[in-house]
Amino acid sequence: MPDSGEELLFPSWPQHGEEERAGLLRALAQEGWWRNGGSEVENFEREFAAHHGAPYALATTNGTHALELALEVMGVGPGDEVVVPAFTFISSSLAVQRIGAAPVPADVRPDTYCLDPESAAALVTPRTRAIMPVHMAGQFADMDALEKLSVDTGVPLLQDAAHAHGAQWQGRRVGELGSIAAFSFQNGKLMTAGEGGALLLPDEDSHRQAYLRHCCGRPPGDRLYAHLTQGSNYRMNEFSASVLRAQLGRLDEQVRVREQRWAHLREALAAIDGVVPQGRDERGTLHAHYMAMVRLPGITARRRLALVDALVERGVPAFVGFPPVYRTEGFRHGPVPGGAEELAAHCPVAEEIGGDCVWLHHRVLLADVPVLDRLAEVFAGLVRAL
């Protein structure tokens, strides 16, 4: 292995400063530390909605719960089907399973790693109640084709935007696309409070239903225990919201830096024999870059893990890609159409990406250009050595 003793230095994550400290003290000084006793959550919801061009936002305990809540608001339940990408983090599938519906994996595109509209269209049945595109690594799925599919079939879209804070599709922000979108604020995400999530909602009725369901069925200001619908406690606390307000203030500049740095790093990685960086649909006018993703076609599982381990030893926050959701034990729940091998036959691209993808955490893209140049040199040396 080349440069076995070298450690590359990247910016830390999460990043924080006096803004987060001031927010936490502000929340601490309130009479109440939950959303019904303070103002941080409501202020964050207004600010997050405005930043993403949505009429409404609702903060939640985490991104997985945000997806579950969105599906419930959309009327998805036991016996229904939801089309999900085969290549995604398992929460996209688990949220469907947790409400008793069946996730139906569709293949993804080999360039962007996002849901393939043609594959999704072939899986729509009378039982399909939602189609869930994931904006993989901050790269928008093909929303033009997916919006047409939604109109043609009458099946609504639910955007899994856990990677796409601040991203834009043809100049439109996530909340301007007219469909419900779910975000995550888990520790590694582009904005974080350790955990947390949010929904962007396109109209007053969906916001009202989401609010009721995330607050045990109780309307705002309720003093009579008037549980108007089923639900659970998915409320975000005031401390998390205060931190996220500060994080939102950094988002635009960090996205700008990552856009510039990825253009540089992508060119360097693409020059390495056997390395294929994630492609870009140019209609995605602003890419948030949650991950810097590359494929190494033909690499074995052992070599891929060895490469990731060697990068981690050098201080690089590197990870293997997600396996297809149907290749995980957690997928085997409920009336899933077909077994893993049958699903794999319909998802050849997801099968390939799930076995040859490596990703680097987005804090790599906040590093200076000389550090990225050295990273590319180290990456190339490790690929050759393996």
Write out the DSSP string of 156-220.
PBEEE-TT-TT-EETTEEGGGSSSEEEEE--TTSSS-SSS-EEEEESSHHHHHHHHHHHBTTPPT
Cβ atoms of 326 and 345 closer than 8 Å: no
**Side-chain half-sphere CA neighbours of 12 within 13 A:** 4
Cβ atoms of 111 and 279 closer than 8 Å: yes
Given the residues 189, 213, 214, 235, the one annotated as active site: 189
Q: Please give the backbone phi and psi of residue 142, each rounded to the nearest 5 degrees, phi first.
A: -75, 85
- Distance CA(64)–CA(261), nearest Å, equals 30
Write out the DSSP string of 55-94.
SEEEEES-HHHHHHHHHHHTT--TT-EEEEESSS-THHHH
For residue 201 the two structure tokens come to 């909602």
H or E stretch covering 106 = strand 102-106
Examine the residue annotation and report whether 148 is marked as an active-site residue of this protein: no
- List active site positions: 189
